[in-house]
Amino acid sequence: MPAAEHPPRSPARSAADRLLDLLGAFSLDRPALSLTELSRRADLPVPTAHRLLAALTAWGALERDQDGLYHVGLRLWEVAALAPRGLGLRQAALPFLEDLYEATHENVQLAVRDGMEVVYTEWLSGHSAVGVRIQVGARWPLHATGVGLVLLAYADTALQQHFCSRPLPAFTPYTVTEPARLRRILAEVRRTGCAVSERQVTEDAVSVAAPVFGPRGDVVAAISVVVPAAGARTHALAPAVRVAGRSISRALGWQSPPPAR
C-alpha cells in the first residue's frame, strides 16, 4: 500500500502536533510499534515519546501489549466512529452492500475521498472472490481504483487539475499515468455514472464503481464490485452497481432529479 502523505514537520512543534505525529506513525503494514520505532517515526526524543505515549495510553487512544508494543486503542476507534462519513454512512450503506454481494458473490467496497486519496470504509468479500490489496482503512491514490476514479470525477475542477498536475504512480503496467488520458476517463465517468478500473492495482482484478450522493446532491462516497479480470463482464455489472449506489443515496436523503423532458 502506498504511504500516506504527511506535511513536513515544523521545527517547533506543539504538544498537540507531537501527539498527532505519534498517532500518525501507525499504518496498515505497521499496526504494532515499539517505543523506539514510534520515537523514530515521530521524530521525537525517546523520553518525550515515552511521556506522550503514556498519556495516550492512559486516555485509551493506544494500548500496550505484553511484549511492550503499542497498538491503536478502542477509545480512538470510538471517536473515529462519530465521523459523519464513517459509521453513519456505513450503517446506511450496509444493507445495499450486502444485497450487491449476494447478487455477485464478489468483493464489494465502500469508500470516501480524503484529500488526494481514497479511504475504504467497508468491504465485503467471500472465500472464492478474487484476492485484492484492499482492506478497511486502506488508502490509495484516486487514479488507480474504480471508487477513486468516481470520487475524482465528481470532485471540483480545481482539485482535478491539481491531482493531474502531480506524478501518477503506477502499480501495474495497466495503471493510468498520463494526465490527458486520465482526464478523458474522468469525463467518461461523469457521462456514464460509472467507472471501470481494469488491472490498475493488481493484474488479475477489475473494479466497477458508481457514486453515492448526499442530501445536497454532492458525491459523498463511491461503491464498487471487484471481479477477476479473466472473463469480467463489466457491462453486466455496471447497472447493478449504479442501482446500489442510488439506493444508498436515497437512504442518505438524496432525491433523484426528475427525468429530462
Tens digits of per-residue pLDDT, 87-97? 578 888 999 99
In the chain, list all ranges with CATH 3.30.450.40. Answer: 87-251
The rounded distance, in Å, linking the Cα atoms of 160 and 152 is 7
Cell numbers that stand for 168 in this block = 501518477
Measured in degrees and rounded to the nearest 5, phi and psi for residue 227 equal -125, 165
What is the rounded CA–CA span in Å between residue 91 and residue 108? 15
Q: What is the CATH number of domain 87-251?
A: 3.30.450.40
H or E segment and range at residue 163: helix 157-164
- Quick: pLDDT tens for 210-223: 999 998 899 999 99
The CATH code of the domain at 15-80 is 1.10.10.10
Are residues 85 and 100 in contact, defined by beta-carbon separation less than 8 angstroms? no
* Distance set, CA 138 to CA 111, 113, 133, 209 (Å): 10, 12, 9, 17
Helix or strand or coil: residue 78? helix
* Sequence ranges of the chain with CATH classification 1.10.10.10: 15-80
pLDDT in tens, 107-144: 899 999 989 999 888 888 866 555 555 667 788 999 99
Q: Is the pTM of this model over 0.85?
A: no
Position 5 scores a pLDDT of: 46
